Amino acid sequence: MAERTVAAIATPNAAGGIGIVRISGGDALSVASKVFVPAKSALTRLGGNGSGRILADVPGYTALFGTVVEANGEAVDQAICLVFRAPASYTGEDVVELQCHGGMYLMQKVLRLVLAAGAEPAGPGEFTKRAFLNGKLDLSEAESVMNMISAHGEQAANAAYHALEGSLSREIRSVSDVFIAAAAHMAAWADYPDEIYEEELDYGVLLANFRAAYDKLDALTKKFDAGQAITEGVETAIVGRPNVGKSTLMNRLLQRERSIVTSIAGTTRDVVEETARIGNVVLRLADTAGLHESEDVVESIGIQMAEEKLEHADLVLAVFDGSEPLDDADQALLQKVGSVENRKSIAIINKSDLGNVVSEEELSPFVSAVITLSAKDPDCYEQMRMLLEDLLGTADFDPSAAMLANERQLDCVHRAMAAIQDAILGIESGLTMDALSVCVDDAIAPLLELTGESVSDTIIEQVFATFCVGK
């Protein structure tokens, strides 16, 4: 149990019907008793007349109505006090939540009273970090908490929920258990070679088990991009020369008027950024200035920003005017889009309502997919949804399945897979058991790091630094 008792506002920094100040630690009840006075009726309900009864006597999973007071006894607000006893709490410590009226000034005042009563300010994600340190969650489950909070849609929320329930943890442990068992047998063999059954260290059995474990991890990596598209979103640049319909497409994908649309070339001079959820896919869209040569100083800045978005985007929507033949600017754009390996890109032949003189065959060598449409047509939204879900692999997304949530987890899996591959090659080449055990240990370490069973303080701090204060 952590020595410090900490407190923070656990609700958003905005006015609302209810605001919550959360207190966690060994002195949580003592601190709360200095600022909260239960109503006599609340204590009577628990037994007795309430005289001399303090908050520390209240059992866990109890809600009390009462008053938040200042040190001089002056009333601040009516409140409900929720009491949770260790270890049956979110953090595994004694926890008290004061539910007050959700005014911003009021919540700050209640927090100040709690801090003056002996609590210390909680850091980002400190409550969840304590839950992890006290064994209530493993590290991957703790990371899913923030994914729950930041979910953009139903699929993202479902995926985060199942991760919180242990879908990824179970999959990773099913792999790590294979290598932990192998390591144990190898260690025992080194000390007592005559007492280890031959089948426990049979090279054929080990090879089959290691290959099956490798395949499990490989399947997780192959689903990573699809999962990120749903949970984190995809950095998407809409590019093209002036007046090809980029802003019209942006508005259609957003299903509202966001970008200004005119027939005047160069209307969009800045980068217009918005987030759009299209089916299961979240796109962080950037509508950029038309790519062309310009002597206008302001427009040139916008074009430079467009070039930067094109360079760094994870997904490019390259828009072309299908009613006109491809010009030099179009050809230059195709070369730039096609120059980045393994990046998803879609060539959009727009203005199909005006007739089409551009063939898909002209564009397909440079991009991942080609589609012909009219951004003015509401039906193009559904066309784009189907294409995006197919291209990004989200059409058959199963939120209940194990899924890697972030780059940290992906890196752990990649390091484990590299070690497993070494172990497989070692078995195939007749590596001695002593040498093979090194590969096995190298596979175990990143898997335990992923779940937090063996992880450095630095990594723990990095994980929880991304959390909001109060969670």
pLDDT digits (tens, 9 = 90+) for 277-329: 888 888 888 876 655 454 444 445 555 666 677 777 889 999 999 999 999 88
pLDDT in tens, 328-370: 889 988 998 888 888 899 999 999 989 899 999 999 999 999 9
Distance (Å, whole) CA 113 – CA 32: 9
Distance (Å, whole) CA 15 – CA 153: 24
Q: pLDDT confidence of 211, banded at 50, 70, 90?
A: very high
Distance (Å, whole) CA 21 – CA 79: 11
pLDDT in tens, 170-198: 999 999 999 999 998 888 776 666 665 55
pLDDT at 167 over 90: yes
| Domain match, 258 and 156 both | no
pTM: 0.80
More confident residue, 300 or 123: 123
pLDDT at 265 over 50: no
Domain span holding position 432: 144-223+403-465
| Domain match, 214 and 237 both | no
Q: What is the DSSP string of 271-313?
A: -EEEEEEETTEEEEEEE----S----HHHHHHHHHHHHHHHH-
Assigned domain for 248 exists:
yes
- Provide φ and ψ at 180, rounded to 5°: -65, -40
Distance (Å, whole) CA 384 – CA 419: 40
pLDDT in tens, 229-246: 888 888 888 888 888 888
Residue 75 pairs with which residues in a beta bridge? Answer: 69
| Domain match, 65 and 193 both | no
Least confident among 153-162, 204-213, 402-411: 153-162
Residue 431: give its domain's CATH number: 1.20.120.430
| Domain match, 263 and 387 both | yes
| Domain match, 247 and 375 both | yes
Alpha helix positions (H), 193-346: 203-222, 224-231, 246-254, 297-312, 328-338
Residue tagged 């997780």 (tokens): 220
Assigned domain for 1 exists:
no
Number of folded domains in the chain?
A: 3
pLDDT at 457 over 70: yes
The distance from CA 246 to its chain's CA centroid, rounded to whole angstroms, is: 29
Assigned domain for 132 exists:
no
